[in-house]
Chain A
Amino acid sequence: MPDTLPVPIADGLICPDADGIALFASRERATNRLCFPARPEDDPRYDRVVLPRTGRLWSWTVQRFRPKSPPYAGPEAFEPYAVGYVELDGALIVEGRLVDVAFDDLAIGMAMRIVLLPFEMTDGTLRTSFGFAPDKGLGA
């Protein structure tokens, strides 16, 4: 991740690498079950893993009103945004914002990939968060 990127919205959430970003998760040693968000790195019952970057849209909706603050920490000015769950290949179904797609084009099953999402906080500062965008490389 270049030095110019804003600070991550949380520690242990986003894994930067040469291909862009991915999400950290944890695999429980006893059961092999994956969980997201990742557990603390020093938890001896879990191994830290990185989730696949691509998958299919599992469900979606559009947030049409500004959520209450707290907990919402986005700008006062509000634009509706899409939210969905993406079934990451062979791993987990992860919730996130959906970006770079018109609401009318959203369809369950469409190919998606994780992308970096600059998130503007209420005070105008930026944080690095994540979202999912259509994966043009794969087709629908």
Chain B
Amino acid sequence: MSEEVVIVGAGIHPFGRTPGLSGLQQGVFAVRQALERAGLAWRDIQFAFGGSDAAGNADTMVSELGLTGIPFINVSNGCATGGSAMFGAYSTIKSGEFDLGLAVGFDKHPRGSFSPLPADWGLPDWYGETGLMLTTQFFAMKIQRYMSLYGITAHTLGAIAEKAFANGVLADHAWRREAVDIDTILHSQMVSDPLTKFMFCSPGEGAVALLLASGRKARELGLPTVRLRAAAVRTRPAGSFEVFSPALDLERGGSPTSVASQAAYDMAGVGPEDIDIAQLQDTEAGAEIMHMAENGFCADGEQPAWIAEGRTRIDGSLPVNTDGGCLACGEPIGASGLRQVYENYMQLIGQAGARQAPGKLRLGYSHVYGAPGVSAVAIVER
């Protein structure tokens, strides 16, 4: 029988910009905080998975944390780097190989949009040369079509961003901690129609560490636990619409998110109606709208009513992105997916402070999505 996997500790380096610290140092900060909160020492950790997209090799952290000789596996999987690190740690404990380990993700990106090179993505140079290779264009065109198909207006986009910044005010690890009203959001500079400046997240900095253990080990240590009921990573199916696509098949299909979501629900033996709180990839405001449906929480087109009724606010029936998500926290690629799990963990143990969602929270759902069509979903239970 496979082992039950639980989270026994979590740490975070605040997201945003920290000029004095490298990405790796922010990672070390997060690991030390997680250990301290759990009352554990680095020598207790038996293995680690970690990574960043642009801030160096995770395994060099041992220079600062201690040369205990443990296996430390570097993960590099784009936007799913953090989710993949957690999947590695989850699978390792589930297999019974080890019973206490670390998943860590960190990053530090320069200002401005990412600047990918065509050859790195298997694309011809002309695609980048002629100005078609921008993630912002993809997100804009995906939500543009979705809005047209389901009668969604810019007002709903603005309301999503307004909620994100309102939640960020309450989250001590968020980057943007000032409320922005919907009129300012809607009338800010248009970046890629229909998305304005305040509807996009920015690349940033930050780090998250999670300590995972077997259920037996956690009981032995006397630590409170949050069960990791599912950790699924999936790549794109045929007919999905992905970033950096010169052409799409006529026959449209599902998305990596819908595939990963279904896999996670199957692993956990629960459905979307059972989830109490969710952290969904919100690279831009439209992504949160579409991901509400792709993860099964509502039908396509129901989002405007959900938003208007405040159902995804912190005090709503399904709070979504309670720490302000990527819009308020920024997107340090290697850390972003783990931040979502961190947020669910803090919410489930009742330690989310000013942003604590009310009532008994049993099941938390997190979803990360990125290029070139990869999604990671985790479901945690208190």
A64 to B141 Cα, complex, angstroms: 14
Interchain nearest-CB distance for A28 vs B (Å): 12
From A58, A64, A85, A129, B130 is in contact (CB under 8 Å) with: A129
A108 to B141 Cα, complex, angstroms: 11
- CB nearest to B190 among chain A residues: A64
- CB nearest to B189 among chain A residues: A64
Contact B141 A85 (CB under 8 A): yes
Taking CB atoms and an 8 Å cut-off, the chain A residues in 48-103 that contact chain B are 58-65, 67-68, 70-74, 81, 83-85, 87, 90-97, 103
Given the contacts A63-B192, A97-B130, A68 and B112 also touching, CB distance less than 8 Å: yes
Contact A13 B247 (CB under 8 A): no
Counting CB contacts under 8 A, is A126 at the interface? no
Interchain nearest-CB distance for A57 vs B (Å): 10
Contact B247 A83 (CB under 8 A): no
Size of the chain A interface, CB-CB below 8 angstroms: 42
Q: Which stretch, B23-31, B142-150, B160-168, B260-268, touches the partner chain A?
A: B142-150
Counting CB contacts under 8 A, is B193 at the interface? yes
Across the interface, which residues of B come within 8 angstroms of A119, CB to CB? Answer: 129-130
Size of the chain B interface, CB-CB below 8 angstroms: 36
Across the interface, which residues of B come within 8 angstroms of A94, CB to CB? Answer: 246-247
Contact B115 A60 (CB under 8 A): no
Counting CB contacts under 8 A, is A15 at the interface? no
Across the interface, which residues of A come within 8 angstroms of B245, CB to CB? Answer: 95
Counting CB contacts under 8 A, is B67 at the interface? no
Contact B128 A70 (CB under 8 A): yes
Count A/B pairs, Cβ under 8 Å: 115
A91 to B247 Cα, complex, angstroms: 10
- CB nearest to B196 among chain A residues: A64
From B117, B141, B191, B250, A83 is in contact (CB under 8 Å) with: B141
A9 to B113 Cα, complex, angstroms: 25
Contact A91 B250 (CB under 8 A): yes
Contact A71 B117 (CB under 8 A): yes
Contact A35 B190 (CB under 8 A): no
Given the contacts A62-B193, A103-B193, A108 and B144 also touching, CB distance less than 8 Å: yes
From A33, A59, A74, A91, B141 is in contact (CB under 8 Å) with: A59
Taken residue by residue from 117 to 159, chain B's Cβ proximity to chain A (1 for < 8 Å, 0 otherwise) reads as 1100000111111111110010011101100100000000000
Counting CB contacts under 8 A, is A20 at the interface? no
Across the interface, which residues of B come within 8 angstroms of A63, CB to CB? Answer: 131, 134, 137, 192
Contact B145 A59 (CB under 8 A): yes
Contact A65 B191 (CB under 8 A): yes
- CB nearest to A93 among chain B residues: B248
